[in-house]
Amino acid sequence: MKTKFKMKKIQIILLLQLLVLVSSCQIGKKYNYEKKTMPEWVISKPQTSIYYIGVSSSPKKGFLPADYQANAQQKALGDLASSISVNIESTSVLSIIETNYKLNENFSSDITASTNQTLEDYELVDTWENEEYYWVYYRLSKNTYASQKAQQKEQSILDAKNKYYQGRELLGRDLHYNAFQFYVEALTALKPYLGESTITNINGEDKDLGNEIFTAIADFVNNLKITFNSEEIKVKKAVEINTDAFSFTITDKNNKPVSGIPVKINFTGAGLLRNSEVSGNDGKVYCSIRKISSQPNNETLSVSIDMLSFSRAAKDHIVRSIIKNMPASENKMRVSVEKPILKIESKETEFDEIRKNQLLKSTFEGMLSNEFSINPNLKPDFTLKITSNTLKNGEYYGEYEVIANYTFDLTDNAGNIVFRKTKSDEYSGADYQTATNKAYIEIAKSIERTITRELISSINK
């Protein structure tokens, strides 16, 4: 028993000692934060003529040490990069773009923001922390940075020039879109220096490479022509359209077809299924219009080079933004939408005899005159065949009953059935003639109420 008591006593003593030790460590840590003097560089960012300085901090609460330290380091490098001023030279490609194209994007700030991604040889001068924040102090020699930048710029100019030459060579072989892609890659290689002069020897002459590349891109886009086959497109509503009717060709300044060019298409009428297309190997673009469903009218087909799609050739967002905002070629075509020609063939009978009053035909003519040009002397685009008859069905409770049946078939000029309506129903009257007249009047009302609408809907599908 005594042995057990002694063991418990020893355990209690050890536990108390451990608590005292932990408490003293915590007090010591707090004491260190309080006693360690805040350095001057935390209070006021150092100013020097020989270094770029970056100072920043990160809150500690809620973060692991590795996280808040990395965050403070990243922010300090961003602060260092922001102290490296970027002045847009008047002869640079950015200056020309912002002046001539009135772009609102702040390209200089974007370039500054990306500078810290290429910083090298910066020094960690000091760190400091208290209970709430962790601080980092970086510096970079201005001479070292200037030397690095000169080397990097020289290499970027060399890479961009090689891609520019490749683009020109491909353009000479009429590989237009491939040439454009190399021009875009060349401009991307120069991105950190788009606000600066990039003078280099190009085919024996000293020229600004950035301006040469941008001019090559602008000329490529501006020289694209959109050519229609005629001065006006004439089509008929609801009639299947020949694919060549709504087609055009993309050509270069030498009238050679250009493939792979994205275009945006806008049509003021109804029937355009897709508003973007790409030119084929022969430079042709076919609009996705199977038939026009809008009312007869003068409409407009507008086509423009799709610079948004073009800009996706660039992986860098700055270069992409430059290309997206460049003016592009556009062309318009008048589209005359006319009524389709309708021929109506009617065989309206009663008790297998032709009726003198062709009521169903006249009803259709009145209801369809806004949609069709009804003319039996012209080649029809659609033919409506009316077949109807009444049959005697006996006398019931003093009234005479007939069975009336009809079929309405609308076919296109290829003989395809576009719309069919067939029905049989019973009608009664004081005599068979009265019952027949009543039947035809009710069928005519159905034509006015629903059948005409169903027929028009079917041709617009």
Span 124-143, mean pLDDT?
96
Residues 424, 347 share a domain: yes
Torsion 191-196-199-203 (CA) sign: positive
Among 338, 360, 391, give the residue marking a domain's end.
Answer: 338
Each residue's pLDDT tens digit, 353-381: 999 999 999 999 999 999 999 998 999 99
Residues 372, 332 share a domain: no
**pLDDT band for position 434 (cuts 50, 70, 90):** very high
pLDDT at 5: 41
Residue 109: pLDDT over 70: no
Residues 252, 236 share a domain: yes
Query: Strand, coil or helix: what is 213?
Result: helix
Residues 448, 350 share a domain: yes
Kindly state whether residue 45 falls inside one of the protein's structural domains: no
Residues 296, 369 share a domain: no
Kindly state whether residue 446 falls inside one of the protein's structural domains: yes
pLDDT at 400: 96
The neighbouring-strand residues paired with 284 are: 249
Q: Are 278 and 288 in contact (CB under 8 A)?
A: no
pLDDT at 196: 87
Kindly state whether residue 347 falls inside one of the protein's structural domains: yes
Residues 414, 347 share a domain: yes
Range of the domain at 358: 341-459
**CB neighbours of 145 closer than 8 A, spacing ≥ 6?**
52, 84, 119, 121
**pLDDT band for position 247 (cuts 50, 70, 90):** very high
Which of 140-144, 180-184, 306-310, 320-324 bottoms out in mean pLDDT, i.e. has the lowest? 320-324
Model pTM score: 0.72
How many structural domains does the chain have?
A: 2
Query: Strand, coil or helix: what is 73?
Result: helix
What's the CATH number where 435 sits?
Answer: 3.40.50.10610
Kindly state whether residue 133 falls inside one of the protein's structural domains: no
What's the CATH number where 239 sits?
Answer: 2.60.40.10
Each residue's pLDDT tens digit, 309-368: 999 999 988 889 889 888 888 999 999 999 999 999 999 999 999 999 999 999 999 999
Portion of the chain with pLDDT greater than 90, in percent:
72
Residues 277, 366 share a domain: no
Residue 250: pLDDT over 50: yes
pLDDT at 176: 93
Kindly state whether residue 163 falls inside one of the protein's structural domains: no
Residues 363, 331 share a domain: no
Kindly state whether residue 13 falls inside one of the protein's structural domains: no
**pLDDT band for position 193 (cuts 50, 70, 90):** confident
**CB neighbours of 413 closer than 8 A, spacing ≥ 6?**
239, 379, 380, 381, 382
Residues 388, 301 share a domain: no
pLDDT at 10: 45
Kindly state whether residue 429 falls inside one of the protein's structural domains: yes
Portion of the chain with pLDDT greater than 70, in percent:
88
Kindly state whether residue 98 falls inside one of the protein's structural domains: no
Residues 378, 301 share a domain: no
**pLDDT band for position 1 (cuts 50, 70, 90):** very low
Among 316, 338, 360, give the residue marking a domain's end.
Answer: 338
Q: Are 400 and 432 in contact (CB under 8 A)?
A: yes
Residues 450, 374 share a domain: yes
Residues 420, 332 share a domain: no
**DSSP character for 259?**
-
Higher pLDDT: 460 or 165? It is 165
